[in-house]
Amino acid sequence: MSFALVRLDDRLLHGQVVYGWGRELRPACYLIVDDAVAEDPWERAAYEATETGGAAVEIAAVAAFAGEWRRWAEHSATVLLLRRPPTLAALWAGGFRPEQDVNLGGLHGEAGSREILPYVHLLPGEAEQLRQLAQAGCRFFAQDVPQGASIGHAALLARLQPPARRREAGD
Amino acid sequence: MTGGEPPAVLITHGGLGEELRRTAEAILGPQTGLAVVSNAGVSLEALRAELAAAVPADRPAVLFVDLLGGSCGHACLPLRREREALLVVSGVNLPMLLEFLYHRGRVPLGELRERILSRGRDGIRASGWEGLS
């Protein structure tokens, strides 16, 4: 059971996803799993109005998706979009186990965040959250757009180390 | 009534908005009330905050967005919800921007809205490749 793509992106469904990944993967559906969007009719309407080239846009709350993720994964033509690591951690705690590596694709800088890659900025606690998920068996890769370079699981984990340890390791 | 010259914000991917402003000013001369907000490297929340600061709260204004449904369009959502006097226009191009800048303050807002849309659409034509399959 797999998805076309499982992506962490704080913009959720936007240009890079639709015009970049969408044209590469040709998904039948973009599924946004996010409580803030699911609970706000205006937000829902805005994302549902996205011009996707024919793919459906579905929106689900985290708890609802955690109970039915296997059904979604059966289609294998769904791009799953999560806002930031805490959503993935919540889903993982609820039994979510994607077959493929999870894409870190667009986590933008905010006050207090640390740059891991130009398009991956982690808030306090998120690097540790990702490391714990990796220890539990979740695998990751970082890539913003299909034509961009892909950073594999091991290289990405090395970047998630606290800065002091990375200096010791000569990174 | 024209309601004075409504300000505008170009909210776009990358440097597109800045180049649109630069090009429009090269054609029409320096403009006031024309701000630019880029989505480059910022979260949706930061983008929304920057946009809110760029839009005057007390009078009609226009938000020109490049991609419908992208992060720039989503960033406009809270403002559009809170402020009835906002007009959000997607698919921004140079013809519609020039039309807006030239006619704002000279024609009523309803007419300005129609001018923006019609000039933006009319600016899209194709010549060549006829008959190709």
E strands present in A50-149: 56-60, 78-82, 102-106, 114-117, 120-122, 140-142
> Which two three-digit tokens encode residue B82?
């809170």
Residue A87 makes CB contacts below 8 A (sequence gap 6+) with A8, A33, A34, A62
Mean pLDDT computed over A129-147: 96
* Chain A contact present for B69, CB below 8 A: yes
Residue B58's φ and ψ, nearest 5 degrees, are -110, 10
pLDDT given at position A166: 59
* Chain B contact present for A110, CB below 8 A: yes
With an 8 Å Cβ cutoff, are A15 and B13 in contact? yes
Per residue in B72-127, pLDDT (tens digit) is 988 998 888 888 899 999 999 999 999 999 999 999 999 999 999 999 999 999 99
- Residue environment code for A126-142, b if the CB has 16+ CB neighbours within 10 A, otherwise e: bbebbeebbeeebbbbb
With an 8 Å Cβ cutoff, are B74 and A108 in contact? no
- At residue A48, does pLDDT exceed 50? yes
β-strands B8-12, A140-142 pairing: unpaired
pLDDT given at position B1: 46
Instruction: Give the closest of B44, B68, B81 to A51, CB-based.
Output: B68
Residue B129 makes CB contacts below 8 A (sequence gap 6+) with none
Average pLDDT, chain A: 91
Q: At what angle do helices B16-28 and B94-103 cross, to 10 degrees?
A: 50
Q: Which CATH superfamily is domain A5-168 in?
A: Phosphotransferase system, sorbose subfamily IIB component (3.40.35.10)
pLDDT given at position B3: 60
For residue A37, what is the nearest residue in chain B, using CA coordinates? B74
* Chain A contact present for B70, CB below 8 A: yes
Per residue in B19-77, pLDDT (tens digit) is 999 999 999 999 999 999 999 988 888 899 999 999 988 899 999 999 877 889 889 98
Task: Quickly list H helices, chain B.
Answer: 16-28, 44-54, 71-82, 94-103, 109-122
**Token pair 């973009």 in the structure block, residue:** A30
Top residue of A11, A51, A84 to mutate, by most chain B CBs within 10 Å, is: A11
pLDDT given at position A168: 56
Q: Which domains does chain B have, with CATH numbers?
A: 8-107 (3.40.50.510)
| A12, A37 Cβ separation under 8 angstroms | yes
Query: Max CA-CA distance within chain B?
Result: 52
What whole-number distance in Å separates Cα of residue B66 and Cα of residue B89? 8
Instruction: Give the closest of A11, A109, A118 to B44, CB-based.
Output: A11
| Confidence band, pLDDT 50/70/90 cuts, at residue A123 | very high
* Chain B contact present for A40, CB below 8 A: no
pLDDT given at position A72: 87
Query: Bigger pLDDT: B70 or A102?
Result: A102
- At residue A170, does pLDDT exceed 70? no
What whole-number distance in Å separates Cα of residue B75 and Cα of residue A165? 37
- Residues of chain A with C-beta less than 8 angstroms from the C-beta of B67: 14-15
Is pTM, for the whole model, over 0.90?
A: no
What ipTM did this prediction achieve? 0.72
Per residue in B103-113, pLDDT (tens digit) is 999 999 999 99
For residue B70, what is the nearest residue in chain A, using CA coordinates? A14
- At residue A75, does pLDDT exceed 80? no
pLDDT given at position A165: 61
Q: Is A95 left (phi over 0), alpha (psi -120 to 50) or beta?
A: left
| Confidence band, pLDDT 50/70/90 cuts, at residue B14 | very high
* Chain B contact present for A54, CB below 8 A: no
Tell me which of A64-78, A157-171, B112-126 is least confident: A157-171
